């Protein structure tokens, strides 16, 4: 396969081969947009580089040289020339955009000889030397791994010496001094002369970009964003002839979104800097100007930008994120990609683009990332209470949502404190890609520098975390672990609140309120609902949970875990008494009281879900979970004995029972239906409570549809055992009340044997629901309690597993059992209702699997219902798109 493509040769649709950036550059070249000439070294070469023990094959180097020669012909510039030198940028770009996670080098090809050529050609020595010092810094950092701070120290020192406040004020002499010092830093670091041969520079840079694919931050980013090898495998390298934004005041560089990525509204959104290079905007070193000002500064280029944006949107049918450079009034495009937007932006643009007839409803749903919609369920500042809190300062609102937490100025500390459960707001001058772990661990990010497209802003938006940038009044004093804003000091650990929607920073913990679903979001839910075929139910065990789920669009409750009701403070004592009862008679007496409480719970939940099915699962956990921990109890007994306290006897009895019920392997122990077999009176009580609640609601003419579900069933015999209890209670209650009730009796499929024998179980069960939490545990023999905290991260890191199977269904293993369970069950009852109620019921990829497997519904936690609805809509629409594609192929 061809290893290198000149921009006019590449297929702009082949992102896998050319990377997103490379494909975009090829496509824009084809569209005759002003892209500086260049070429792409494919992702296949990156893969070969790794297979080849990180060596570039000779044939590739030869191919690169051939393309440089072509570049010389296209640009009229000459490689390594002291008259008219050709300089290039070397940019990374994988199939999926990973902003700031990999490396880029600018101004490559510059050396002591070509810097003269550049001076001669441009008649601008300051510019030439500025480009040279930038090159050494980036090259030194990326290729040699020199700590950026060493360069920054030199820069600051010389700026101070010259009395310059900003970089662009540096004189030619100062820049020359910086270049000499920068080279010394690199040479001291490597122990070798700084490379002057442009081909050597290029080869080292290509390797460095390939290496950055496997750098720590890129790997973490891929892991956190579920970017598997199928999605992106290696980075491409783009070698592009330089367009200079730092050639004077008629030059500029900027980043612009064709629509506002924060709220989706249709206007250009972005920043630019006059007389600067791209890295300055992204790194947030200087605070840039809003793109609207370009109209005044460089009106001709502004018009070109507007026209280009419109053309690109029409072509890609997606809002674009564009990088541009203006070199002495000439406009160049350096990149285009689909804009990463927050959830509000994505929803808004979906609705707007349908109105503009740019896309149809189908595309409007399919383009959404359901997982991202969770952002819309984020908190905001409680405006009624906000006046009680002082405003500390105001910055640029970069990622919406409100967060309160303790201010931490150090990246490592923020990471560890956040990971240990503290609510941390990371406060920095600016952020760099290596700070990303702290983003994951923080609830919000605040920076004193940078614009809307700075690193902090882009990363926080992608993660849906509140973020404020460019809060220029903020002065951070790292030594004393504090910052001051307009005279007010905030020490590390002090509570602050940030509002990423307005840019305001507050002192203290401002109350926040839960979000509401907007009209646009409702429209998307409506379209998704119309498209989806699988039902959406909720896992809820309180009336509030049921109400919320219903508001979000749930069509019933797929799992009501009844044990959670026993944990309420007014129940737990009774429940413990029930476990401690010495005789069956005593236990039944207590169960009667518990039954009344449970009945009133069921009534409330069934009312909240009127008209929809509510699956009530009988007691599942092992009984010891309701008793105090034996070790703690033993300590208590010892203390009580020393004090000769009266309760010592009762505590001893409790301890004895706790020890009796303790299990080595509780998740596989005396739980679920096994408890029901040992203590049928508990299940009797629960079944009766369901029937009595239904009777009560019938009297109130409330349309309640409870169904009873048995956990942990492994055999038909077990299910039959409980079914007999069910039949007896049903008979009794119906006779007592002279009425008939239809309450379905079903089972969970969460034990491997149940899936294998589902055709037998289906003879008694009226419905199935896959408990994929336990089924995953059983299939892998991974403890659901411990695996995620122990070895699973390592498994993911070492790529022994692609996804966490407790989060995303393992379709290859657990999925096969599910398919078998469905096939077996429906071989007996064709229309058997089969759902899923493990955590996977709210996971978009798992929902797609459930849809394709023919499940009747998925059940997810109330907050994930909207995500589940959109995912279900997407699954149905994707199926239609596939079918349509199949038909077209067949017709051919
Ligand atoms: C399951 O195992 O998937 C399930 C829903 O039950 P629980 O999580 O309560 O064990
Ligand atoms: Mg379970």
Q: Write out the DSSP string of 683-699.
A: HHHHHHHHHHHHHHHHH
Pocket test for ligand 1, best of 625, 674, 710, 837 (most atoms within 8 A of CB): 837
C-alpha of residue 747 to centroid of ligand 1, in Å: 12
Closest by CA position to 628, among listed 706, 682, 688, 575: 575
- Strand pairing class (474-477; 467-469): unpaired
Residue 838 Cβ < 6 Å to ligand 1: yes
Q: Convert the pLDDT of each residue in 123-148 to its tens digit.
A: 889 989 999 999 999 999 999 999 98
Work out which ligand 1 atom sits closest to the CA atom of 774: 2
CB 289 within 8 A of CB 271: yes
CB 30 within 8 A of CB 110: no
Q: By alpha-carbon position, which residue is closest to atom 10 of ligand 1?
A: 774
Question: For the chain, what's the residue count?
Answer: 892
Alpha helices in 402-500 (DSSP H): 411-419, 436-441, 455-463
Looking at the CA of 621, name the nearest ligand: 1
User: How many Å apart are CA 554 and CA 859, to the nearest integer?
Assistant: 9
Work out which ligand 1 atom sits closest to the CA atom of 837: 5
User: What pLDDT does 682 receive?
Assistant: 97
Residue 750 Cβ < 6 Å to ligand 1: yes
User: How many Å apart are CA 46 and CA 22, to the nearest integer?
Assistant: 14
Residue 771 Cβ < 6 Å to ligand 1: yes
C-alpha of residue 548 to centroid of ligand 2, in Å: 23
Residue 167 Cβ < 6 Å to ligand 1: no
Closest by CA position to 689, among listed 703, 706, 675: 706
Residue 559 Cβ < 6 Å to ligand 1: yes
Work out which ligand 1 atom sits closest to the CA atom of 771: 3
Q: By alpha-carbon position, which residue is closest to atom 6 of ligand 1?
A: 771
Question: What letter would DSSP give residue 174?
Answer: H
First to last CA, the chain: 28
Q: By alpha-carbon position, which residue is closest to atom 8 of ligand 1?
A: 773
Closest by CA position to 304, among listed 318, 315, 294: 294
Residue 541 Cβ < 6 Å to ligand 1: no
Residue where the block lists tokens 């996804």: 803
- Strand pairing class (391-394; 504-507): antiparallel
Structure tokens at 339: 């804009």
Residue 814 Cβ < 6 Å to ligand 1: no
Ligand 2 ion local residues (Cβ < 5 A) = 750, 771, 774
Residue 564 Cβ < 6 Å to ligand 1: no
Pocket test for ligand 1, best of 538, 748, 806, 857 (most atoms within 8 A of CB): 748
Residue 772 Cβ < 6 Å to ligand 1: yes
User: What pLDDT does 194 receive?
Assistant: 95
Q: By alpha-carbon position, which residue is closest to atom 1 of ligand 1?
A: 771
Pocket test for ligand 1, best of 538, 541, 559, 714 (most atoms within 8 A of CB): 559
Looking at the CA of 625, name the nearest ligand: 1
Residues designated catalytic: 455, 837
For 840-881, the three-class secondary structure string (H helix, E strand, C coil) is HHHCHHHHHHHHHHCCCEEEECHHHHHHHHHHHHHHHHHHHH
User: What pLDDT does 463 receive?
Assistant: 67
User: How many Å apart are CA 178 and CA 164, to the nearest integer?
Assistant: 14
Residue 773 Cβ < 6 Å to ligand 1: yes
Q: By alpha-carbon position, which residue is closest to atom 4 of ligand 1?
A: 771
Closest by CA position to 837, among listed 811, 812, 820, 818: 818
User: How many Å apart are CA 413 and CA 482, to the nearest integer?
Assistant: 14
User: What pLDDT does 885 receive?
Assistant: 67
Which residues of the chain fall short of a pLDDT of 50?
A: 892
C-alpha of residue 554 to centroid of ligand 2, in Å: 21
C-alpha of residue 518 to centroid of ligand 1, in Å: 32
- Its sign, for the CA torsion 687, 689, 691, 697, is negative
Residue 860 Cβ < 6 Å to ligand 1: no
- Quote the pTM value: 0.77
CB 288 within 8 A of CB 254: yes
572-581: burial string, b at 16+ Cβ within 10 Å, e else = eeebbebbbb
User: What pLDDT does 892 receive?
Assistant: 47
Work out which ligand 1 atom sits closest to the CA atom of 539: 5
């Amino acid at each position: 396969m061809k290893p290198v493509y000149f921009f006019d040769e590449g297929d702009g649709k082949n992102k896998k081969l050319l990377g997103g950036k490379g494909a975009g550059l090829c496509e824009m070249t084809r569209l005759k947009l002003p892209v500086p000439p260049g070429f792409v070294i494919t992702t296949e070469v990156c893969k070969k580089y790794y297979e080849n023990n990180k060596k570039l094959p000779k044939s590739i180097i030869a191919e690169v040289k051939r393309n440089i020669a072509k570049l010389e012909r296209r640009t009229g510039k000459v490689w390594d020339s002291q008259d008219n030198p050709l300089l290039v940028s070397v940019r990374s770009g994988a199939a999926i955009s990973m902003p700031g996670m990999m490396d880029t080098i600018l101004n490559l090809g510059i050396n002591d000889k070509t810097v003269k050529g550049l001076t001669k050609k441009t008649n601008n020595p300051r510019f030439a030397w500025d480009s040279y010092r930038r090159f050494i810094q980036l090259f030194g950092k990326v290729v040699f791994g020199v700590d950026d701070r060493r360069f920054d120290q030199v820069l600051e020192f010389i700026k101070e010496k010259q009395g310059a406040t900003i970089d662009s004020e540096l004189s030619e002499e100062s820049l020359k001094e910086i270049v000499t010092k920068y080279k010394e830093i690199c040479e001291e670091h490597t122990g070798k002369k700084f490379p002057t041969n442009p081909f050597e520079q290029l080869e080292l840079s290509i390797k460095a970009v390939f290496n950055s694919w496997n750098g720590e931050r890129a790997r973490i980013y891929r892991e956190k964003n579920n970017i598997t090898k199928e999605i992106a495998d290696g980075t491409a390298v783009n070698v592009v002839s330089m367009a200079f934004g730092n050639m004077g005041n008629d030059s500029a560089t900027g980043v612009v979104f064709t629509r506002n990525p924060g709220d989706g509204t249709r206007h250009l959104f972005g920043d630019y800097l006059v007389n600067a290079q791209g890295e300055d905007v992204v790194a947030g070193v200087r605070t840039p100007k809003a793109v609207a000002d370009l109209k005044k500064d460089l009106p001709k280029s502004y018009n070109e930008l507007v026209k280009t944006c419109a053309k690109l949107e029409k072509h890609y049918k997606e809002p674009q994120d564009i990088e541009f450079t203006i070199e002495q009034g000439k406009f160049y495009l350096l990149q285009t990609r689909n804009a990463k937007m927050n959830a509000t932006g994505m929803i808004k643009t979906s609705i707007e683009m349908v109105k503009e007839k740019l896309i149809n409803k189908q595309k409007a749903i399919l383009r959404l990332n359901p997982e991202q919609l969770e952002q819309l369920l984020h908190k905001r500042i409680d405006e009624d209470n906000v006046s009680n809190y002082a405003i500390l300062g105001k910055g640029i609102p970069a990622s919406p949502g409100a967060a309160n937490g303790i201010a931490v100025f150090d990246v490592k500390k923020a990471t560890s404190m956040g990971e240990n459960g503290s609510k941390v707001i990371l406060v920095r001058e600016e952020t760099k890609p290596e700070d990303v772990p702290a983003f994951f661990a923080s609830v919000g990010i605040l920076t004193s520098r940078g614009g809307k497209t700075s690193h902090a802003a882009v990363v926080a938006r992608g993660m849906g975390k509140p973020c404020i940038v460019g809060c220029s009044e903020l002065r951070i004093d790292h030594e004393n672990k504090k910052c001051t804003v307009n005279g007010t000091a905030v020490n590390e650990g002090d509570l602050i609140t940030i509002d990423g929607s307005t840019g305001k920073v507050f002192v203290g913990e401002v109350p926040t309120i839960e979000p509401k679903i907007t009209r646009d979001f409702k429209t998307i839910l409506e379209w998704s609902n119309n498209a989806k075929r699988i039902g959406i139910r909720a896992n809820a065990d309180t009336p509030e949970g049921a109400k919320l789920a219903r508001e979000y669009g749930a069509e019933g409750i797929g799992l009501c875990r009844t044990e959670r009701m026993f944990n309420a403070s007014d129940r737990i004592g009774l429940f413990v008494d029930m476990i401690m009862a010495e005789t069956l008679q005593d236990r039944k007496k207590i169960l009667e009281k518990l039954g009344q409480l449970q009945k009133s719970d069921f009534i409330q939940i069934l009312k909240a879900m009127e008209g929809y099915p509510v699956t009530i699962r009988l007691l599942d956990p092992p009984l010891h979970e309701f008793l105090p921990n034996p070790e703690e109890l033993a300590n208590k007994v010892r203390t009580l004995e020393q004090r000769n306290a009266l309760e010592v006897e009762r505590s001893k009895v409790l301890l004895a029972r706790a020890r009796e019920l303790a299990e080595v392997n509780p998740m596989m122990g005396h739980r679920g239906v096994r408890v029901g077999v040992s203590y049928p009176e508990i299940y009797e009580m629960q079944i009766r409570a369901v029937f009595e609640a239904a009777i009560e609601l019938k009297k109130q003419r409330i349309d309640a549809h409870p169904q009873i579900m048995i956990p942990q069933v492994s055999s038909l015999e077990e299910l039959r055992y409980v079914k007999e209890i069910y039949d007896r209670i049903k008979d009794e209650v119906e006779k007592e009340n002279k009425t008939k009730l239809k309450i379905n009796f079903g089972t969970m499929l969460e034990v491997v044997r149940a899936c294998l024998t589902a055709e037998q179980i289906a003879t008694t069960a009226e419905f199935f629901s896959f408990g994929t939490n336990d089924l995953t545990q059983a299939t892998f023999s991974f403890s659901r309690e411990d695996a995620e905290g122990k070895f699973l991260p390592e498994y993911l890191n070492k790529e022994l597993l692609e996804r966490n199977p407790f989060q995303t269904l393992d379709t290859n293993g657990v999925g096969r059992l599910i398919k078998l369970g469905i096939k077996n069950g429906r071989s007996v009852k064709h229309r058997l209702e089969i759902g899923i109620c493990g955590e996977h019921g709210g996971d978009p990829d798992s929902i797609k699997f459930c849809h394709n497997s023919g499940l009747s519904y998925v059940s997810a936690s109330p907050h994930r219902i909207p995500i589940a609805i959109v995912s279900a809509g997407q699954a149905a629409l994707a199926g239609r798109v596939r079918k349509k594609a199949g038909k077209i192929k067949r017709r051919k």
